[in-house]
Amino acid sequence: MAIDKATVYGIARLARIRIDEAQAQSLVGELGNILDWVEQLGEVDTEGVQPMTSVVEMRLPLREDAVTDGGKPDDIVKNAPEAAHGFFVVPKVVE
């Protein structure tokens, strides 16, 4: 399926990836080629076929609703680009 530049910009915004004009232009072709190629699935008769949800025949296990880990705020923020007082610091989001 052909996709246009506006669609590429729309997807990039949803994916939270900034792209520039030149990238948008080349992505129109690249993504279009990949989508054309995957569209051969349209040939397959899937009437009444259940979509696969789990490749292994198993029931998801249940566990006790109990705290099994925690109490390590320093570990949690250790790799943060910016942290203060045990919190992640982000740019201001409320005016």
* Site for other proteins, rule CB under 8 A: 3, 7-8, 11-19, 27, 30-31, 33-35, 37-44, 46, 49-56, 58, 60-61, 63, 72, 75-82, 88, 90-93
Minimum CB–partner distance for residue 80 and other proteins (Å): 6
Minimum CB–partner distance for residue 85 and other proteins (Å): 16
Helices (H), 1-95: 5-14, 21-38, 73-77
Taking Cα atoms as reference points, which of 13, 38, 40, 36 lies closest to residue 24? 13
- Whole-number Å distance between alpha carbons of 85 and 72: 13
Minimum CB–partner distance for residue 77 and other proteins (Å): 8
Q: Spell out the residues 6+ positions from residue 28 whose beta carbon is closer than 8 angstroms to its own.
A: 3, 4, 5, 8
